[in-house]
Structure 1
Amino acid sequence: MRSDAKKNYNRLLEVARQVVTEQGADLSLREVARRAEVGLGTLYRHFPTREALLEALLRTSFEELAARADLFTASNSSDKALVLWLRETIAFTYSHRGVLSLMMGAIEDMDSALHTSCVTLRAAGTELLTRAQSEGKARQDIDGTDLFALIAALAWVREQPSAAARADHLFEVITSALLTPH
């Protein structure tokens, strides 16, 4: 990629991150181009669809969350590592308003630009869960797909104005039901 094209690409991602924080996943591509001070054609050359732009934004974050799973595994008990990772993943999902439905759809749609990133994220959670299960610290009747659904449910609760104040309590209820007493 030419240096000016790379500069535009990075600027578009930087601006898109800000716009997603403000507007959520339904961000205006026109607004991203305007704030990045590039034409719509430049934006569409780099990101032909909104999903392609979101995938580029989310891929790095999902990779970081997957790496955090490894970090938590290395420095914590299996149950604590799982809970820490769940908390971070839910917080991330909540802070990126609107990505929840995209993530849930993309995990099942192999043609989605977000599919690979979502599968990677689910695999990281599955590894944490499997480790806790093998040590007898987590229920045996749940799998990575269930865990991904729980993340979505808890992030959704946090998004609801009437339930947001209860989100931390519900997180504790869910994680205590997920983990086995030891």
Structure 2
Amino acid sequence: MDRPLRAHARRNQARVVAAAREVFAEAGPEASLNEIARRAEVGPGTLYRHFPTRRALQIAVLRDRIEALCGRGDELLTSASPDDALAEWLRAFLAHARSGQGLGGAVMTVAPDELGFDCHERIMDTAARLLGNAQRSGSARADLSPGDLLQLVVGIALATAQTDDADEPDRLLGIVLDAVSQRRRGGGSAQ
């Protein structure tokens, strides 16, 4: 039976995850665990006590990133403008998809029980709720599915992974958002 962590141990664990998120984003999923411990200002023993394997730490970082992304979506559901909420969340999703440096691939085989939830399902559900709000308000095309929308954004992330043009991802997302919007298209459906 797992005992709850003491406050100090929880803080150390959170610092390790935050440092790992940074270091993995900079150097990829095979980044130095010693560098992660150094940035978290803990010893390697503390890192390994909380995360006995690299994979355990990668899973914790992925869980943290997805929880933050979907939590932001939950906050945006109360936005006065469903169109703006969807656009803001898609920008966050694009940043999430672009910043992984292979972390998602490194833990691609992670089972929902290891993560604590099904990450694909959680992201899809968040996208569905935000898109549904925009569709009900009449600001997003009714024929668009959450899966289609996420595929478009992932496509942008993949297509711009090696770009030197820092503005390209947001510019391409803007094109997608224009295609999603009923208002920008005059309220009609695509021919």
Is the pair's TM-score, using the shorter chain for normalization, greater than 0.5? yes
Match of 2:131 among 129, 135, 151: 129
Give 1 or 2: higher helix fraction: 1
TM-superposition CA deviations, 1:40-89 (whole Å, max 9, x none):
x5433322443431332233333333232233332232222211110122
Question: Aligned partner of 1:132: which letter?
Answer: A
Tell me what 2:172 maps to: 170
| 1:117 positional shift | 4.0
Q: Describe the SS at the equivalent of 2:115.
A: coil
Distance of 2:82 and 2:99 partners within structure 1: 26
Tell me what 1:43 maps to: 47
Distance of 1:137 and 1:28 partners within structure 2: 46
Query: Rg: which structure is higher?
Result: 2
Distance of 2:68 and 2:124 partners within structure 1: 13
TM-superposition CA deviations, 1:137-178 (whole Å, max 9, x none):
323343223333223222223322256543222112212222
Q: How does 1:1-150 map to 2 (within 5 A)?
A: 1-2=5-6, 5-33=9-37, 35=39, 36-39=41-44, 42-101=46-105, 105=108, 109-110=111-112, 113=115, 116-150=118-152
For these two proteins, the number of residue pairs brought into alignment is: 179
Question: Aligned partner of 1:147: which letter?
Answer: L
Could you tell me the percent identity over the aligned residues? 35
Quickly say closer, same or farther: Cα 1:11–1:75, change in 2 above 3 A: closer
Quickly say closer, same or farther: Cα 1:148–1:25, change in 2 above 3 A: farther
Report if the CA contact (8 A) 1:78-1:128 is conserved. yes
Distance of 1:10 and 1:77 partners within structure 2: 33
Quickly say closer, same or farther: Cα 1:114–1:91, change in 2 above 3 A: farther
Tell me what 2:159 maps to: 157
**Structure 2 residues not aligned, in runs of 5+:** none
Distance of 2:29 and 2:142 partners within structure 1: 35
Q: TM-score, length-normalised on structure 2?
A: 0.72
Question: Aligned partner of 1:38: which letter?
Answer: G
CA RMSD of aligned residues (A): 3.1
Name the stretch that deviates more: 109-118 or 90-99.
Answer: 109-118
Question: Aligned partner of 1:169: which letter?
Answer: R
